[in-house]
Structure 1
């Protein structure tokens, strides 16, 4: 049973987040935590196979060799003539291999077969254009910003994750995955998808066409067209950002557009969220608390600095600042995990000033996807190790009860990210964050990110949060007890120099 101080803390935090972003009440039984890449892949395929009306996938990229996955979508569209498919990915990442086979060329086959029912959109950052775009090499050009959201919906269900849609994420690259069955939440995220799709290029079949946004002289299997009623980000980035910001402001500040006071006679109804209980003359505050214990509160957050003017602020920034202040002022026990651990300076400061016990779970060098890669990217794993080591050294120097654990599982890499908050002395978290953001300066300033804050007093869902952390810790060891690979001096220097790009 939740204590009075815990309930007060919960309500205080809820009230503060209410003022920032949209809010949904969801039956806790309609939220499922998935654990393994294979479980994520099978669940995603099942959602697609069972979809009747729409499938929408927002991702960084779909693997260029994912013929099996694309065929699952194709078979669903053949079986159900009214089924529509909407895919949003990043243009730089999806065309990286051009003029050879790429994610874009694979997806174009779907569009070619189902021209009226399949939409493929590729977002391009307004930060990279003109001469700079032509001069910066591929892979490096992705450092100027990406579409990084991971939202996978089918009818009234969706998965929010940090995982991309490629073979390693389906087999041996560990991430996090939350499955929701809720019509209103799915509808909201389809609106999110559609909004960003309206700020992206159409990816269309082109047997004999060219790809002018990449190399003018090379023939391509696809073409990219700007068919939106906003300026093209590559030719008029200033006006593009102005118009994009106008469109996103409503999405980011929905709760402020629908200001309401909590009505305890209908405690689980919000202007945006699901109606979970019906009003009766006999409801009272005791029943209100019982209702809270059957539900979860879900807040969608977004980070989209590249397409916002200075007058509009991303909601993820605001809420993370609230959470950081919470752990600075309350003895909350916290766990943070990030495959790429490099939290931005303000959040780092808040973590190091936290009152309660804390831990950061990071990828070991061997579990980093760039381990022993070719070219300059081979320096990425030791750079992240160095950043994590510095964080642990600072925590020790400040005499904080904070540890850093390294995740390593033979044959697997690590890509999970998110927070868990637990009341002092409790074993099950009451809050978690799930989504695409790594909470880095790069995520904050350059990429499009989507994250959920999930708060609950439901014991079963809290136990699911706890199980998720335990399964992650199963392959994690304190950094101080690990036999760490030595980080070269030049990598340390580069990590300091390029910290905002990592």
Structure 2
């Protein structure tokens, strides 16, 4: 009853705010203050491929399924969460009520009271399973080794010690260590800075057969005033099974934590990520093979299901009679391991976009790779509205030491991209927007895709990648491509991006003439050297 009540409150809140946001969107469409096309305006456009049917929408993006597994879910069971506080409450409710599995992948777990309360909810699920003799209940938690170990007396690891001690047969904690941090580099690069070499950036929050895909980590600011994205897929067993297997696979390539906070390799056949005799090649080969095997077997399952059901191109969660109106494609990017599915699919999406298509793209740390930038500028025909953080809402704003200069570096990168827009004469087709919300930080990433003549998006990307160098080349990343014809879900997605863009301002040349847009020469020089690390 408590869970149903919480969801009713959440849906009531969303419905109330949706009307206000819709009024804002209508106002924006009819009242442009900049004199340029508004990225939220989606009036009917003449097009050679106006899509109005389910078959057209699914076929148009169906090529994604040739490269990655596909799962079919009911759009009515998908909930777009819009606020950090809602995200936190859903996490606690789902954790407390879990009866078969809890699988979590995050960069780290914070050490404050909110995080303690979340761990208490996981403990409650373990205790409930023990009371009823449910030995099948399992908790798998994957964190990054360097970020999860940060802290002398209190850390992500110490937060989980009691769970491991009290439920040794139920709880498993893994810490992934990048094979690129080794030797002299590992010895000389200090804490915090060693995280720039590479880490696991996966964000998966799975409870029984429901899963939340997000870009948010598990710490107090992500539960209060750090804006991110969060999409909940309720009762989607096949999708949940995939992510459960993905997290377990990476976990088996990681260190296993014991209740006394010591670490050990997963088994005798494990290859040490940074102490083996080569340069990490053996570890990378083994890791790549295991991840590829998972993807291959998952795709084969999809194809087998397609053979059994000629009318569908993907796996089903339940019977095929009605309601399955949403296709979900996991996109994996693990650059250090040579797995580049997400990058390849994203590039193809940009390249295949036709005139009249519109892509709204957000990045909490705007630092497009040269490949992405060149394709958007020179090969793609779609309109773009790119949302990025203002310096004041950058997560590093006000940080001590060198980290405090990072927002300035992002201003410089944004300025260089804006100059490219001017150089190529693309300032009308590609527009940049700067997000600001007082006393908040911005960690949003992903995209929303509009087909010509459509007032609602047909596709979204949701997950951990920022479209930058780190996401493509250094970290382990995962996001979902969600293609849907479900009106309620499409309205939620539209509401989501409208609320984000309404807190932004169009970027013009005047921005970089302001005092906070000025970048010192030393910062420009340093950015050129370090941009590949963030």
Provide the TM-score with structure 2 as the length reference: 0.83
Q: Which residue is equivalent to 1:72?
A: 121
Distance, in Å, in 2 between the alignment partners of 1:4 and 1:356 is 14
Choose 76-85 or 123-132, whichever is displaced more.
76-85
Correspondence 1:145 to 2:170: no
Aligned counterpart in structure 2 of residue 490 of structure 1, from 510, 514, 522: 522
The residue matched to 2:263 in structure 1 has which SS?
A: strand
The answer to whether the Cα contact below 8 Å between 2:70 and 2:313 also exists between their aligned partners in 1 is no
CA distance in 2, matches of 1:404, 1:368: 16
Aligned-pair CA distance for 1:72: 1.7
**Cα pair distance change 1:173/1:494, threshold 3 Å:** same
List aligned pairs for 1:118-133, cutoff 5 A: 118-133=171-186
Q: CA deviation at 1:86?
A: 1.0
Distance 1:385 1:411 in 2: 19
Q: Identify the match of residue 230 of structure 1 among 270, 278, 281.
A: 270
The aligned residue for residue 93 of structure 1 is 147
- The structure in which a higher percent of residues are helix is 2
Query: For 1:369-422, what per-residue CA distance to the aligned partner results, in whole angstroms no more than 9, with x for missing partners?
Result: 100110111111111122122222222332222111111101100001001110
C-alpha distance in 2, partners of 1:4/1:357? 16
Shift in Å at residue 254 of structure 1?
4.1
Q: Equivalent of 2:340, from 309, 314, 325?
A: 314
Residue 396 of structure 2 corresponds to 370
Q: Are positions 1:337 and 2:362 aligned together?
A: yes
In the other structure, the counterpart of 1:57 is 104
CA RMSD, 1 decimal: 2.2
| Cα displacement string for residues 138-178 of structure 1 (whole angstroms, at most 9, x for unaligned residues) | 11111111010000000010100000000000000000000
| In structure 2, C-alpha distance between the alignment counterparts of 1:205 and 1:462, rounded to whole Å | 45
Match of 1:216 in 2: none
Structure 2 equivalent of residue 287 of structure 1: none
Post-superposition offset of 1:17 = 1.1
Deviation, 1:241, is: 1.5
- How far 1:33 sits from its partner (Å)? 0.3
CA distance in 2, matches of 1:429, 1:276: 27
Asked whether 1:168 is paired with 2:221, we answer: yes
Deviation for aligned residue 1:461: 1.5
Aligned to 1:347: 372
Structure 2 match to 1:301: 331
Distance in 1 between residues matched to 2:503 and 2:215, nearest whole Å: 19
Q: Hey, what does 2:79 align to over in structure 1?
A: 32
1:3 CA displacement: 9.5
How far the C-alpha of 1:265 sits from its partner, in A, is 6.2
Q: Which of the residues 504, 507, 519 maps onto 1:479?
A: 507
**1:103 maps to what in 2?**
156
Distance 1:263 1:456, change over 3 A: farther
Distance 1:322-1:264 versus aligned 2 partners, 3 A rule: farther
**Aligned residues between the structures:** 467
Please say which of residues 254-263 and 397-406 is displaced more in the overlay: 254-263
Aligned to 1:22, the other structure's residue is in SS state: coil
Label 1:189 to 1:387 Cα distance change in 2 as closer, same or farther (>3 A): same
For the residue of structure 1 that corresponds to 2:517, the secondary structure is coil
CA contact (8 A) 1:56 1:190 kept: yes
Q: In the alignment, what sits opposite 1:211?
A: none
Structure-2 change in CA distance of 1:17 and 1:223 (3 Å) = same
Q: Distance in 1 between matches of 2:299 and 2:163?
A: 39
Are the aligned partners of 2:355 and 2:383 in contact in 1 as well (CA < 8 Å)? no
For residue 30 of structure 2, what is the aligned residue in structure 1?
none
Residues 1:277 and 2:277 aligned together: no
Shift of 1:345: 1.0
Q: Which moved more, 1:102-111 or 1:395-404?
A: 395-404
Is 2:431 aligned against 1:388?
no
Partner of 1:210: none
Deviation (angstroms), 1:47: 0.6
Give the aligned partner of residue 244 of structure 1. 287
Change in 2 beyond 3 A, CA 1:402/1:113: same
Residue in 2 that maps onto 1:286: none
